[in-house]
A = this chain, B = another copy of it.
Amino acid sequence: MRKVPEEMATKMMAAADLFAERGLDGTKTEDIAAATGVPKATIYYYFEGKEEVLSFIFSAVLAAVGEAVEAALRSPGTAAERLSAVIDAHLHVFALHPKASQALHFDLGRAARLPEIRTQTNAAFIDPVASLLAQGARDGSLRAVGNPRLTAVAILGAVSTSAIHVLALDTGDPVLSLTRVITPLVLNGLRPEGGNQ
């Protein structure tokens, strides 16, 4: 993949709508060209194919998740409080890029087979949350768990599955309100023995 210029990158994000609506294979390269205003030949000049366009969009979303999560990690407070901030940050990205997020979730198989996407998912969410869980065990704000990484994956699953669910239902429910469902579930779930909040 050639280095994608700023303007091209912006235009390409319009393809997220198509991918979210119809999936990668339901989307013709011509459609991408039409939706983004970038002619097919030009798309192929920059990308190896439509799968690479998809992964380009995914990368952008994952970068946004990564930044949001990182900022939340640096917020003040106990590990438990920061975990709650991370969940909110994650939900914010869904709210900000609903179509791209849906595309990411729906073409998960495609995505998961791309190594950079996999490492980016780890780096953006799983690693930070896993280490946060370890910190929580140390500072006493969270219960120690047997497998922090798997626990992080479970949290990721809970957040993203329900966010996608809400986006797909498309009742006007703001995704952010999910925090009222998820955060107590997770924080109580990881509440230190005997503790109460």
Contact = CB atoms under 8 A, between A and B. Distances in A.
Could you say how many copies of this chain the assembly holds? Answer: 2
A103 to B, nearest CB: 8
A9 to B, nearest CB: 24
Interface residues of A, number: 44
A39 interface: no
Given A23-B110, A107-B109, A181-B145, A161 B150 contact: no
Interface in A140-192: 143, 145-147, 150-151, 153-162, 165-166, 168, 178, 180-182, 184-191
What is the interface of chain A mostly: helix, strand, loop, or mixed?
helix
Given A105-B108, A106-B112, A196-B194, A165 B188 contact: no
Interface of A: 23-25, 105-110, 112-113, 143, 145-147, 150-151, 153-162, 165-166, 168, 178, 180-182, 184-191, 194, 196
